[in-house]
Structure 1
Amino acid sequence: MIRKIRRLAKVINKSSTRKKYYHQPGTAPGTIIVDENSQHPHIILIDYNQINLVHQEIIHPEDCSQYLDTESVSWVDVQGLGNRDILERLGQVFELHPLVLEDVVNMAERPKSEDYEDQLLIIARMVTPTHINEGFHSEQVSFVLGKHYLLTVQEEPEYDCFEGVRMRISKSKGIIRKQGSDYLAYALLDAVIDGFFPVLEIYGERIEELEEEVITNPTPQTLQKIYRIRRELLQLRRAIWPQRNVINSLIRDSSEIISDEVRIYLRDCYDHSIQVIDMVETYRELASGLMDVYLSAVSNKMNEIMKFLTVVSSIFIPLTFLAGIYGMNFNPEKSPFNMPELNAYWGYPLCLGAMAVIAGGLIFFFWRRGWLSNSVKVKD
C-alpha cells in the first residue's frame, strides 16, 4: 500500500507543469527574462479624480509620462510580458531601478515589499478559479506605487480579480475617487486577498465530495484526488503566507507614500489574509485526515472480504472432508477394512443429505453470530 501511494504521488508530481524563471549563474543584476510564449503587453491607463475620468489603451509607453506629474491618480495596468523593448521603455518612463524592473518582469518572486525612496515596490501572488472548477490559476502581480500613480504588471490578462475595482472607479462608487494612489493600491491588494475565498470555497466542496467517496467507495482514483488536493493546498499556503507579512510590513513601516488613513484600511486586509490562512490550514488538516480515513476504509474492506471468504471456506471444509473420504477408491474385497457405506442402497443420498445438514448448520451458526450478514454487505 505504501509503495502504491508513493507511485501515485510521483505520477501527480510529474503530470503538473510549472513555468520556471531563473537566472543562469553569474548573470548580471537587473537582467530581464522574457518568456517567448507570453502575451504581447497591453497598457491600460485609468486616470481619475473626483470629477474627471480617463480610461484608454496606451500604445507607446512614453504617452504615460504626461499623467505621472498631475494631481489626479494614474493607474497604469500592464497586461502581458511578451516584449522586452516595451518593458524597458516603461522602466525608463517610470524611472524604475534596474532591480525593481527585474523583480517586476521575472515571474518567480516571493511576495515582498521594498521601499525605494519615492517609490514602493509590492509583489503579491494572485489566484483565481479555473473554468473547470478544479485547481486554480496562480500568477504574480506587481505594484509600483508612487505619490500620484500606481503601476501594476500582470502576466496573463484573462485571469484578473481587479474588475470590481475598475467598476468602482468608473461608476464612482465608494470613496475610491476621493482618495490617492495609496488607497488604490490597498483596494487592489484587498481584491487579491479576497480572490482566495472563491478558490477555497471550491476546495471545501471538493473535500466534502471526497469524504463521501472515501467512506462509500474508496478507489485508487480517490487516493490520487486526495494527493492532488493536498498538493494544491500547499501551493495556496505558499502563496498567502508571505503576503500576510507583506501587508503587515506596509502597516508597520513608516513609508511616506502610504498615509495613516490607508494603514487603517490595510488592517482589514491583514485580517482577511489571516482568515485565508486559517481556512487553508483547516482544509489541509481535513485532506490529511481523508488520507487516514482512506487507508482505514481500504483496510476494513479487505478485512470484511477476507471474513466472507473465510466463512465460505469454513462451510465447504467439512463437505470436502466427506467427499474426500468417500472418494477413496479402495476395493473392499481385497482390504481387511470394510467401508459398509460404499455398498449401501441409500448411501449416496444419505451422504448428500449429511452434507446439506452440515452446510445448513454452519450457515445458521454464522448467521446467529452476525458474521454472515456483515460479509454479505461487503460483498454487495
Structure 2
Amino acid sequence: MGKMVHVGSRKVGVAPGTLIHIGKKHLTEPKITVIDYNVDNFQELVAENIEEVYPFKDSENVSWINIHGVHQVDLIEKIGIHFGIHSLVLEDIVHTDQRPKVEFFDSYIYIVLKMLQYDKDKEELIAEQVSIILGSNFVISYQEVIEDTFDPVRDRLRSSKGRIRKQGPDYLAYALLDSIVDNYFVMLEKIGENIDALDDELLDKPTPKTLEDIHHLKKELIFLRKFIWPSREVVSSLQREESFFIKESTSIFLKDVYDHIIQVMDTIESYRDILSTMLDLYLSTASNKMNEIMKVLTIIATIFIPLTFIAGIYGMNFEYMPELKWHLGYPVIWALMITVALVMLAYFRKLKWI
C-alpha cells in the first residue's frame, strides 16, 4: 500500500493531461506491430519507428496498431497527437492503474480492461492494463507486456478464418474484448484446480499451510472480482450506447461477451462460497482436534487426581500411621491405586468419553 501511494504521488500538483508513466516498466523498448487488412488483402509489419504507422490513420482497410510498452511517454504522445486522441486519454493510457471503463468521444471510443496472466512460480494472478482506441477505420491497443491473449485473434486475421476479415474495426475491438474475457475462464480454471487440491488436503490432513493457501485464494478472487465488476459495465455501455463506431450487428456479439462476464462473476461467487465453507471446515476440524487433545489430557488428569491424593496421604510419613509398618502396605497401596484407575477408565468408557 505504501508503494502505491509513493508512485501515485508523482502526479501531485501536475497539470491535467501531463503524461507521466505510473506502473512497472516491463520492457526495455516498446514494440509496435501493425496489421492492415480487408477481405482480400492482408499486411503485417513491425514498425521501426512511430512515423511508419501514421499512414494507417487514413487507410481504406481496417488497421490494427498494437503497442507493447507504455512507459515511453513521448511515443504515446506522438501517436496520440497524430490520431487526435485527447491528452486526458493519453494520461490514462500511461497511468496503468486505471479502473476498467469506457469513454465515448466524437472521433473514437476509449476502452480500458484488465488482461490477466497466471504466474506459475509465484502462484498468483498478475493484471495488465489494456487500453483500446476504436476509430472509424482503426483500432489502437496499448499493452504493458508482450505476452498476451491476442494471438488467436492474430491467427484468425492471418488465415482469414470466420468473419473477422469481412467486418469493420468494431468487430476487431469486439474480438479483442472477447479474447480478454475468455482468458478469465482460464484463470478461473487454474483457481478451481487449486481449490480442488486444497479440498483433498483439507479432508486428508490439513496443516497451517492449508489455512494460508485458503486465504491466498480468497485474496485472488477478490483481486479478480475487482476487475470483473467494472468490466461488466464497460461491455454493457458498449452494447447500450448508440455510437457511430459500433454497428448493430456487432452489438449482438457484445451481448455474448456480457453473458460471459456474468458467468465469470457467478463462478467467482461460487468459489468464494466454497472457500468460506472450506475455511469454516478447517477451523471446525482444528477445533475438534483441540477438543480431542483436551479431552485426553482431562481424562489423564482426572485419573491421577485420586492417585495423587492417595500418594499424598501416605507420603506424609507421620510416626503413628498404622500402614507405615505393615509389610503388605506398599503392594496394597499399588493395588488400590490401580483399582481406582481401572474403575475410572471403565466409568469413562461407559459414558462414551473414551
* TM-score, scaled to structure 1: 0.86
Show the counterpart of 1:209: 197
Tell me which amino acid in the other structure corresponds to 1:253. Answer: E
Distance between the aligned counterparts of 1:345 and 1:23, measured in 2? Answer: 93
Tell me which amino acid in the other structure corresponds to 1:129. Answer: Y
In structure 2, which of residues 238, 247, 254 is the aligned counterpart of residue 266 of structure 1? 254
Change (3 A) 1:228 1:249: same
Quick check: 2:71–2:94 contact (8 Å CA) kept in 1? Answer: no
Show the counterpart of 1:353: 335
Change (3 A) 1:133 1:269: farther
Show the counterpart of 1:376: none
Summarize deviations over 1:42-79 as a string: whole Å, max 9, x none: 00111112222211110111111222222211111000
Distance between the aligned counterparts of 1:353 and 1:148, measured in 2? Answer: 100
Summarize deviations over 1:261-319 as a string: whole Å, max 9, x none: 00011000000001111111222222233333333222222222111101111121222
Show the counterpart of 2:228: 240
Percent identity of the aligned residues?
43
- Does the residue aligned with 2:77 lie in a helix, a strand or coil? helix
Tell me which amino acid in the other structure corresponds to 2:57. Answer: L
Distance between the aligned counterparts of 1:22 and 1:245, measured in 2? Answer: 29
Tell me which amino acid in the other structure corresponds to 1:242. Answer: P
Show the counterpart of 1:97: 86
Question: What pairs with 1:15-54 in structure 2 (closer than 5 Å)?
Answer: 20-21=7-8, 24-35=11-22, 37-39=25-27, 40-54=29-43
Quick check: 2:115–2:129 contact (8 Å CA) kept in 1? Answer: yes
Quick check: 2:115–2:128 contact (8 Å CA) kept in 1? Answer: yes
- Does the residue aligned with 2:11 lie in a helix, a strand or coil? coil
Distance between the aligned counterparts of 1:366 and 1:301, measured in 2? Answer: 19
Distance between the aligned counterparts of 2:328 and 2:89, measured in 1? Answer: 102
Structure 1 stretches of at least 4 aligned residues deviating more than 6 Å after TM superposition: 16-19
* TM-score, scaled to structure 2: 0.92
Show the counterpart of 1:169: 157
Distance between the aligned counterparts of 1:216 and 1:315, measured in 2? Answer: 33
- Does the residue aligned with 1:76 lie in a helix, a strand or coil? strand
Show the counterpart of 2:175: 187
Tell me which amino acid in the other structure corresponds to 1:172. Answer: S
* More displaced stretch, 22-31 vs 116-125: 22-31
Quick check: 1:21–1:108 contact (8 Å CA) kept in 2? Answer: no
Quick check: 1:62–1:93 contact (8 Å CA) kept in 2? Answer: no
- The total of aligned residue pairs comes to 352
Matched, 1:307 2:300: no
Quick check: 2:164–2:171 contact (8 Å CA) kept in 1? Answer: yes
Tell me which amino acid in the other structure corresponds to 1:177. Answer: R
* More displaced stretch, 209-218 vs 170-179: 209-218
- Does the residue aligned with 1:195 lie in a helix, a strand or coil? helix
* More displaced stretch, 160-169 vs 86-95: 86-95
Tell me which amino acid in the other structure corresponds to 1:73. Answer: V
Displacement of 1:132: 3.3
Distance between the aligned counterparts of 1:218 and 1:308, measured in 2? Answer: 21
Show the counterpart of 1:335: none
Displacement of 1:133: 7.3
In structure 2, which of residues 213, 218, 228 is the aligned counterpart of residue 230 of structure 1? 218
Show the counterpart of 2:121: 132
Displacement of 1:85: 1.9
Distance between the aligned counterparts of 1:17 and 1:347, measured in 2? Answer: 79
Quick check: 2:317–2:324 contact (8 Å CA) kept in 1? Answer: no
Change (3 A) 1:265 1:208: same
Change (3 A) 1:22 1:119: farther
Distance between the aligned counterparts of 1:19 and 1:260, measured in 2? Answer: 45
In structure 1, which of residues 326, 332, 337 is the aligned counterpart of residue 314 of structure 2? 326
Summarize deviations over 1:152-211 as a string: whole Å, max 9, x none: 0001122x1111111111122111111111101000000111111111112222223333
Quick check: 1:61–1:93 contact (8 Å CA) kept in 2? Answer: no
Distance between the aligned counterparts of 2:174 and 2:71, measured in 1? Answer: 27
RMSD between superposed Cα atoms in Å: 2.2
* More displaced stretch, 107-116 vs 209-218: 209-218
- Does the residue aligned with 2:271 lie in a helix, a strand or coil? helix
Show the counterpart of 2:326: 344
Tell me which amino acid in the other structure corresponds to 1:352. Answer: W
- Gapped runs of 5+ residues in structure 1? 1-12, 333-338, 373-380
